Structures are given as C-alpha cells and as structure tokens.
C-alpha cells in the first residue's frame, strides 16, 4: 500500500486529497495518478503523453522535487521524506529514516496553476519562444547537405536533448523571484542555437544581444539547481556561463 | 466560429510538415492539436529515417526493399514517390537544424535497419524523432503558423461530400467550438493504445481515424498491425531496431541465438514481423524467461559504443527496468508498434471526401502495405506531409469558404452527444478500455486464427454495447480527463471492430497479418486492399486492387 497525497486546486480553493492505492511492481508515479483518475476520482487532472520520459509533459513536484512523473518509481519515492510543509524546492529526493509510504504530489513550481497538477505552460513557452529558437538557414541547402564534425555535434547534442519539461524552471530560484527571467531551458537553447554552424551570423548576434541582460544570462545565480534536476542531463548553467564568456569576448573586440 | 483556409489536425511530424509547406505557399494555415506539438508521439521515434543518400545506394533499391517488406501489398506508385523524394526531404530537415549523427568527414551517418539492402537509415543518436520534431516545430514557429494547443477535435462537419471543418473541445474549459476551413488535413497518428502492450504514447488512441470513418470516409488495410519484436518487458517502451542494427543478439532462456532457426541469413536484422513471430514462438513454446520475455544482449558492444550511439536506450533501460545494458542483457517482448492501415488517401493525401486530407500514421497511402520497414514511417510523415500541404495550398485558392450551416448542425449534434454522456451511473470508461485492450492483444495479436478472431469479434461487439452506457461523472470544466477519455474510448471501439473483422475475413498470411490456419500468402484471392465503410453503424468491407509497377510479387525470404 502507498498513499498519494495530492494537492488539488481550482479557481477558488486549494486543498489536499490522500489516496490509498495498491503498488504494483515497477509502478511509476504517472501510473499511480492514472489509477486514481480512472478508479477513484475522475475529476483529478494532470498532463501526460509518452509515459517514457521523452515528451516532457508530466513535470511536477514529487516530494517537493521537480521531476517527471513517468520517470519516477513509486517504490523509490515512497521511501523518501515528503518534506511536507517546506516552502523550499529541492533538487533530489532524501531517503527517509522511518517507513514512509507517502508520496507528496504538487503542481510544478514557478508557474501559475490552472487546475490540480496542470500549470500554465504558456508562460514558459513564451519565454522560450522569445529568443527565436530556430536556425535561420537559407531556403536552399548545399548539395549533399551541410557538413558538421562529430565533435561539434556532440557539443550541441547535450543541449538539444532538452524536452522542454520546465523542471529546471520549477527549480530555479531566480525564476521564482523574477517572472521576466528567461528561464534555464531558454538560455540552454540559446547556447544550442549559438553553437550551431548552420545558424547565420546576424541571428546569432541578435540572440546574443537579447540574452545580454538581467532577465537573461546576468540574472542567473549560478547555483546549478537546474542542472541537478534536469531529467535529460542538459546543463543550462554551463550554457549560461558560455554565453556570458561569449558576450565578454565580443566586448573586448 | 474560428476560420482558416487550411487547418491541420495534429502537431506531429506529418501535421507540422504539412502546415509549414502550406504556409510557404502563402496559405492561411493553422494547426490544432490535443497536446502541444512537441508532445506528439513523433517525439518518441528512436532509430531513424530512411533515404538513399549513400553513394552506392539508389531510390530503386529503397523501393524494392519497401515493396518486398510490405509483402507486395504496398502501392508501388506511392512507394516510388516516397523513395525518390526521401533524400531531398532529409537534406531539408538537416538544413533546418536537425542534429543528425555524422560520419568522420561530416556527412550524415547511416545505420543498417531490418529488411534493407543498404545502411540507409539516417539517425540522430537514438533520438531521431525528438530531433526531427523539435526542428520542425522551430521552423513552424519561425514561419508564424497559428497553433491551437490543447483542443480535441470531436466531429468532422460535412456538406454534400465536402469536409467543411469540424467541432472541437477546448480542453481548458470544456467548451465546444466550430472551426471552418476550405481544407482540413488529418494528421492524428496511430491507434496503438487499443492494444494492451504497445510502444505508443498513451495519447495514441486512433481517435482521428474514427473521426474520418464516422464521416463516411473508408479506412484501409486496418488488419495490418505491426508488432515490434523488442519492447521493454513491463512498460513496453520501445527498444529500437537500431540496437540490433548496431549488433545486438537475441537469446532465449537456453542462451541460444534462436534467430538462426527462423532467418539464418539476416538473423536479428530480419524484418520486424518475422523477428516478432520468432520471439513470440520462443515464448509460447516455453523457451522464454519466466514472465514471458527473451533477452537482447549488447554487452559485447562495449561501453563506449553504447554511450555514443545508444545512450537514450541505456537510460530507458535503467529508468524503466532497472537494467544497465552495458552490464546485463535487456528483457524484451513483442508489442504493438505501428498501424499500417488508416484513412484511405492518395499520393497528395487526398481522401475520397473533398477537402479532407489524411497523412502520417493515421493515413493509408499504402506505402507500407502489410508490413512497414523501420525508418520508413518518419519518412512517410515528411514526404506526404509536404505534398499534402502543397496540394491544399494550391487547391484552396480556387475554393470559397463553405457555408456555416453544416458546422452549426454538427455543433448541435455534438452538444447533444456530450450532454447525453453526462451521468452519475453506468459503465466506467476505464473498465471498457482495459477489456478492449486485453481482447485485442489476446485474439488479434501476433498470431491469429478463425476461432480466436471470432471470439475477439464477439467481445468487441459486447464492449460496443457496454460503451453506449459509459457516463462521465465528473463535471469539472478545466481539463476534464474523464470526458476526454470517454470520447476517445468510443473511437477506439470503432477501430477495434474494423481491425478484427478485416482480420477474420482475410484468409491468408501476409506481412504482419499472420493466420495460423492459413499459413501462406494467397495472391490470387488476397492481393488487394481492404476498405471499410461505416454503414448503419456497422463496418462494410470492400476491396480494391494493389498498384503494381516494377516489382512482380515474389516469395518473401530473408
Ligand atoms: C516508440 C516508437 C519509435 C518509433 N521509431 C521510429 C523510427 O525510428 N523510424 C520511423 O520511421 N518510425 C518510427 N516510429 C513510427 C513513427 O514515429 C510514427 O509513425 C510517426 O511519428 C507518426 O507521426 P504522425 O505525424 O503521423 O503522428 P503523431 O506524431 O502521433 O501526431 C499525432 C498528432 O495528432 C494530434 N491529435 C490526435 N488526435 C487528435 C484529436 N482528436 N484532436 C486534436 N489533435 C489530435 C496529437 O495531439 C498529435 O499532435 C516509431 C514509433 C514508435 C511508437
Ligand atoms: S533543460 Fe532539462 S529540465 Fe529544463 S526543460 Fe530542458 S529537459 Fe527539462
Ligand atoms: S544556475 Fe541559474 S538558471 Fe540554473 S537554477 Fe540556478 S539561477 Fe536558475
Ligand atoms: S509522459 Fe512524456 S515525459 Fe512523462
């Protein structure tokens, strides 16, 4: 048996509901939520799509750590401290001393809640889109495609692995204080686009100027919380530092 | 009422590619999707996309492999288009920023895939779908296509054999709205979730296919359902064919590399249907591991190669099965993977209903026939997505916006449909859905026969009856998951019925459709496509010829 303590919310109120469910072998938190929704309380809502940690839909706070529900095992989460009552956001679960059997599930932090575990992702998407996150390549491609060295590819890949789940946004202390802060994922993407040899120089420069601000790379406290929570091992802080260096280097010229 | 010249339903690869092309041709185009585009199932594709860009490869050879793989049921004119246009579509994606894996000299790397004569599969690590979908989405953003996120289309509107638009449910507040368009492009993906074991995303219910079917459009070759040989035991998350492409071995519990009994030449790289049946036979005959799986072993490939080319797979095995493939073999079992059948459509995505297009996995343009080759469906999405977008953009120039009448009528019908579904008693959608998925897995799976199919059909009919009594108990407005599910379960029942009936009638074995009571392919009687029409609430089956141009049907051996 395991208890899910789920934060509920609608336009007018907030409350917690506890559900007692039977844990099956290998059960994920997402599966547990489906069990509740299908058999116990049809009004519960949450987002999902792939159940395989690739679509980025199911970011939420599990024991106050931003993570993907589909990638979090019930068997592991129930042995953690729920950290109920804390206002802090943590980057990893903490093994609890005594038998716990309770999992605390809440909506992702730093985004407005629409209902239950569904948050307003448009806030996050708009931040990401603000850096024009696309390669401005010319309409015609070179015969046989562009060439790219495996080394460069490897550098970029770390950042393209981002699934835009917003877990990093939920963990970021700067995003918590400042809703104009571009977000770790956005800045990671900016660096991804910057690195790409197919990007044209004008767009690269425009993006660099755009993130050269207090809402951009200079807002970051370099506390690496985003790196710690990312389910895809994307290192936003490294991207932010690299962007800062690039900006400084350009100044010297 | 919301209006656009062209509205694409679905934000996966096929839908985005169509929208982008229509926009490039100057059309007023929008995308509507029940999940934000980057959450679509396309994001999960791992292994790669086929294109004959290798110096000694050719489109003919790609076409031959595709036709042979299809067990000669694919239409060869559309296969020709698929293979000829492949290199250009792939280079285009590359130019827009897709992070393809590279060879040492910087060109796009290619890996071998099952059923192919050349290493023809371009890939981005084992995250090809993710890289393609994010790139295409970025380009769609750049182009300024309007996107309606988190709307579920529930009914197509028609007016004298023309699609005039549709009714959709806004998931944010459960309000219905009408969308009017000169052309509607369905790009709603596959129906994997009607099976108990499936590699597909949870959202792949096939609802879009049933929308067309209910609007009178025929759905084609639905009995051809691909089972992937290697899905992770338990969650059935895909373990890409790329793992075997890189040199993985399959072992049964006696540590025999059993593929040498079934496909001595190509071994683990035989086409999917053959490998899936081989594994199923090993399991059924007691040579699987307890719990019903075999082992896929890559420990001999070494840490470096695994981390470089299969790191996504490694992570999946660790997260979802607690197994590190660098150290131990991966437990795998066959599961539903791909829907060869779908809405009957042509080389430009046109369906028999004017103004309605269908592309991607929800469509059957028939390039995959009875069995799709790995790497060909991502290709299908962008080749035919582009063609449909272009065709629609040109077509709408000469078409007037349809009148509002049929849309208002559809809206009223859908309102009363949803009102009648609200209630505090009756069946639960979850029970009906779970039983349906078990029925399909058991009776309409890897192996089929008359007795099982008849039992399956009887169960589906009972479930259809029970489906009429499903009620939505929750009255919440924002994200009413129960309402979304109930609507979709009804569509799943439509599809299950057509698949089962088609499989029962087709008394032969061809590609993925394998009848233990009719072991041979029967070209005389069955070299033809199945078309299912909805008539008076029941599927009515008709048949049509296969287009054969250069490759005459031969026995399929590997
Ligand atoms: C795990 C996995 C791995 C794969 N790997 C490969 C591979 O390596 N190579 C290859 O070639 N193929 C692969 N495939 C197959 C390939 O990924 C799919 O066939 C392809 O991505 C389908 O794309 P699509 O655009 O047709 O649909 P999808 O990507 O499924 O998109 C469907 C869209 O329709 C929307 N939608 C559906 N219904 C509605 C509705 N009622 N209202 C509004 N919107 C709706 C959804 O929101 C979604 O945006 C793989 C498949 C799986 C399951
Ligand atoms: S950087 Fe990581 S945590 Fe942040 S959105 Fe991307 S995948 Fe999610
Ligand atoms: S390192 Fe910067 S971006 Fe990352 S969590 Fe800390 S403040 Fe936010
Ligand atoms: S459901 Fe896709 S990441 Fe969790």
pLDDT given for residue B22 in this prediction: 98
Do B186 and B298 fall within a single domain?
Answer: no
Q: What is the CATH number of domain A2-118?
A: 3.10.20.30
Residue identified by tokens 């683990």 is: B268
pLDDT of residue B521: 96
Domain ranges of chain A: 2-118, 120-252
Q: Among residues B374, B405, B436, which one ends one of the domains?
A: B405
Tokens 């890289």 correspond to B131
For residue B470, give the CATH number of its domain: 1.20.58.100
pLDDT for A97: 82
pLDDT band for position B557 (50/70/90)? confident
Give the model's confidence band at B117: pLDDT under 50 very low, under 70 low, under 90 confident, else very high. Answer: confident
- Determine the average pLDDT of the residues in B10-30: 98
Percent above pLDDT 90 for chain B? 90
Of B172, B201, B476, the CB nearest to A51: B201
Class of residue B200 by CB neighbours under 10 A (exposed 0-12, middle 13-18, buried 19+): buried
- Verify whether the Cβ–Cβ distance A144 to B44 is below 8 Å: no
| Ligand nearest to the Cα of B343, by number | 1
| pLDDT tens digits along A79-121 | 999 999 999 999 999 998 877 899 999 999 999 999 999 999 9
Average pLDDT of the residues in A20-29 = 92
Q: If you measure CA to CA, which chain B residue comes closest to A11?
A: B478
Of the three residues B308, B334, B360, the one that is the final residue of a domain is B334
Predicted local confidence at residue B242, as pLDDT: 83
pLDDT at B58: 96
Listed range (A197-211, B15-29, B115-129, B347-361) with the worst mean pLDDT: B115-129
User: B14 and B78 in one domain?
Assistant: yes
**What band does B475 get if pLDDT is binned at 50, 70 and 90?**
very high
B245 within 8 A of B47, measured Cβ to Cβ: yes
d(CA B66, CA B160): 37
Q: Do B155 and B244 belong together in one domain?
A: no
| Contact state of B39 with A49 under an 8 Å Cβ cutoff | yes
Q: Per the CB < 8 Å rule, is A157 touching B125?
A: yes
Nearby residues of B201 by Cβ (< 8 Å), 6 or more positions away: A49, A50, A51, A52, A55, B40, B41, B44, B192, B193
Distance separating alpha carbons of residues B331 and B296, to the nearest angstrom: 6
The reply to whether B442 and B396 lie within a common domain is no
Compute the distance from residue A161 Cα to the ligand 3 centre, in Å. Answer: 18
Q: Is residue B544 in some structural domain?
A: no
Q: What is the reported pLDDT for B440? A: 97
- Model confidence band, residue B194 (pLDDT cutoffs 50, 70, 90): very high
The ipTM of this complex is: 0.97
Domain that holds residue B469: 415-528
Both B318 and B200 in one domain: the answer is: no
A212 C-alpha to ligand 1 centroid (Å): 38
Last residue of a domain, one of B317, B334, B351: B334
What per-residue confidence (pLDDT) applies to B508?
Answer: 98
- Whether the pLDDT of residue B558 is over 80: the answer is no
Per the structure, how many domains does chain B have? 3
Phi and psi angles of residue A119, each rounded to the nearest 5 degrees, phi first: -110, 165
Q: Are residues B504 and B441 in the same domain?
A: yes
CATH fold for domain A120-252: Fumarate Reductase Iron-sulfur Protein; Chain B, domain 2 (1.10.1060)
Mean pLDDT for A207-226 is 97
Which residue has the CA at smallest separation from atom 2 of ligand 3? A220
Shared domain check, B365 and B287: no
Query: Does pLDDT of B114 surpass 80?
Result: no
Contact residues, chain B, for A116 at CB < 8 Å: 479
Partner-chain contact A42 B472, CB within 8 Å:
yes
> Which of B16, B21, B33 has most ligand 1 atoms within 8 Å of its beta carbon, as the pocket-test mutant?
B33
Look at residue B220 in the predicted model and tell me its pLDDT.
98
Which tens digits make up the pLDDT trace of A125-144?
999 999 999 999 998 999 99
Average pLDDT over chain B reads 96
Q: Are residues B176 and B43 part of one domain?
A: yes
For residue A202 the two structure tokens come to: 């004008």
- In chain A, pLDDT over 90 holds for what percent of residues? 94
What are the tens digits of pLDDT across the range B227-274?
999 999 989 999 988 899 899 999 999 999 999 999 999 899 888 888
Give the range among A65-69, B99-103, B280-284, B553-557 with minimum mean pLDDT.
B553-557
- SS3 letters for B490-558? HHHHHHHHHHHHHHHHCCCCECCECECCECCCCHHHHCEEEEEEEECCEEEEEEEECCCCCCCCCCCCC
The average pLDDT across A18-32 equals: 94
Per the CB < 8 A criterion, the answer to whether B472 and B482 are in contact is yes
- The stretch A68-73 carries a mean pLDDT of 96
3-state secondary structure chain A: CEEEEEEEECCCCEEEEEEEECCCCCCEHHHHHHHHHHHCCCCCCCCCCCCCCCCCCCEEEECCEEEEHHHCEHHHHCCECCCCCCCCCCCCCCECCCCCCEEEEECCCCCCEEECCEECHHHHHHHHHCCCCCCCCCCCCCCCCCCCCHHHHHHHHHHHCCCCCCHHHHHCHHHHHCCCCCCHHHHHHHHHHHHCCCCCHHHHHHHHHHHCCCCCHHHCCCCCHHHHHCCCCCCHHHHHHHHHHHHHHHHHC
């Amino acid at each position: 048996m395991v208890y899910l303590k789920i934060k509920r919310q609608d336009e007018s109120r907030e409350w917690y509901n506890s559900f007692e469910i039977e844990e099956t072998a290998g059960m994920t938190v997402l599966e547990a939520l489906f069990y509740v929704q299908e058999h116990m309380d049809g009004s519960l809502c949450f987002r999902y799509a792939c159940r395989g940690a690739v679509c980025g839909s199911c970011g939420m706070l599990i024991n106050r750590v931003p993570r993907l529900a589909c990638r979090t095992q019930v068997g592991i989460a129930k042995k953690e401290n729920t950290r109920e009552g804390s206002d802090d956001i943590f980057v990893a679960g903490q093994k609890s001393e005594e038998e716990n059997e309770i999992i605390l599930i809440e909506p992702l932090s730093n985004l407005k809640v629409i209902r239950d575990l569904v948050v307003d992702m448009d806030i996050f998407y708009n931040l990401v889109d603000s850096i024009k996150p696309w390669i401005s390549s010319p309409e015609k491609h070179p015969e046989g495609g562009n060439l790219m060295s495996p080394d460069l590819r490897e550098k970029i890949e770390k950042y393209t692995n981002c699934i835009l789940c917003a877990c990093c946004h939920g963990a970021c202390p700067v995003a918590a204080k400042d809703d104009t802060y571009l977000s770790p994922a956005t800045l990671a993407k900016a660096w991804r686009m910057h690195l790409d040899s197919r990007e044209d120089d004008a767009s690269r420069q425009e993006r660099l100027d755009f993130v050269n601000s207090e809402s951009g790379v200079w807002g970051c406290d370099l506390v690496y919380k985003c790196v710690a929570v990312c389910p895809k091992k994307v290192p936003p802080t490294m991207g932010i530092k690299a962007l800062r260096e690039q900006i400084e280097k350009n100044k010297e010229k | 009422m919301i209006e656009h010249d062209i509205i694409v339903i679905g934000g996966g690869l096929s839908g985005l590619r169509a929208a982008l092309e229509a926009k490039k041709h100057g059309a007023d185009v929008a995308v509507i999707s029940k999940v934000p585009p980057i959450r679509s199932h396309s994001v999960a594709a791992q292994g790669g996309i086929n294109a004959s860009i290798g110096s000694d490869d050719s489109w003919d050879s790609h076409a031959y492999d595709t036709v042979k793989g299809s067990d000669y049921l694919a239409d060869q004119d559309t296969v020709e288009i698929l293979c000829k246009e492949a290199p250009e579509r792939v280079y285009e994606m590359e130019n827009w920023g897709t992070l393809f894996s590279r060879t040492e000299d910087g060109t796009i790397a290619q890996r071998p895939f099952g059923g192919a004569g050349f290493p023809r599969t371009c890939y981005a690590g084992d995250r090809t779908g993710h890289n393609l979908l994010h790139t295409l989405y970025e380009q769609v953003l750049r182009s300024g296509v309007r996107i309606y996120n988190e709307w579920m289309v529930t009914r197509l509107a028609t007016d004298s054999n023309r699609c005039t638009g549709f009714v959709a449910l806004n998931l944010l507040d459960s309000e219905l709205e009408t969308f009017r368009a000169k052309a509607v492009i369905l790009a709603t993906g596959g129906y994997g979730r009607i099976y108990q074991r499936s590699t597909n995303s949870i959202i792949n219910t096939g609802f879009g296919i049933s929308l067309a079917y209910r609007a009178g459009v025929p759905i084609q070759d639905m009995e051809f359902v691909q089972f992937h040989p290697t899905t992770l035991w338990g969650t059935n998350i895909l373990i890409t064919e790329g793992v075997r492409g890189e040199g993985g071995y399959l072992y049964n519990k006696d540590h025999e590399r059993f593929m040498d009994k079934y496909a001595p030449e190509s071994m683990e790289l035989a086409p999917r249907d053959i490998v899936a049946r081989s594994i199923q036979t090993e399991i059924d005959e007691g040579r699987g591991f307890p719990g019903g799986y075999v082992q896929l072993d890559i420990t001999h490939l070494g840490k470096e190669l695994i981390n470089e080319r299969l790191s996504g797979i490694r992570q999946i095995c660790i997260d979802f099965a607690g197994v590190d493939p660098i150290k131990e073999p991966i437990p795998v079992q066959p599961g539903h993977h791909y829907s060869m059948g779908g809405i009957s459509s042509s080389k430009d995505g046109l369906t028999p209903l004017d103004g309605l297009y269908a592309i991607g996995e929800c469509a059957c343009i028939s390039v995959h026939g009875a069995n799709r080759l790995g790497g060909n469906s991502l290709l299908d999405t962008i080749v035919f997505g582009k063609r449909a977008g272009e065709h629609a953009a040109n077509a709408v120039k000469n078409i007037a916006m349809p009148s509002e009448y049929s849309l208002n009528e559809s809206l009223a019908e859908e309102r009363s449909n949803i009102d009648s579904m609200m209630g505090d008693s009756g069946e639960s959608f979850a029970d009906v859905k779970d039983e349906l998925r078990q029925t399909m897995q058991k009776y309409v799976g890897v192996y089929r026969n008359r007795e099982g199919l008849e039992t399956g059909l009887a169960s589906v009919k009972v479930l259809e009856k029970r489906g009429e009594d499903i009620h939505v108990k929750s009255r919440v407005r924002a994200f009413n998951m129960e309402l979304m599910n109930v609507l979709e379960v009804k569509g799943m029942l439509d599809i299950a019925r057509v698949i089962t009936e088609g499989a029962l009638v087709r008394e032969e074995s061809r590609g993925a459709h394998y009848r233990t009571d009719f072991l041979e392919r029967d070209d005389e009687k069955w070299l033809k496509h199945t078309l299912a029409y909805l008539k008076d609430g029941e599927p009515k089956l008709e048949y049509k010829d296969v287009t054969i141009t250069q490759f005459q049907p031969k026995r399929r051996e590997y």
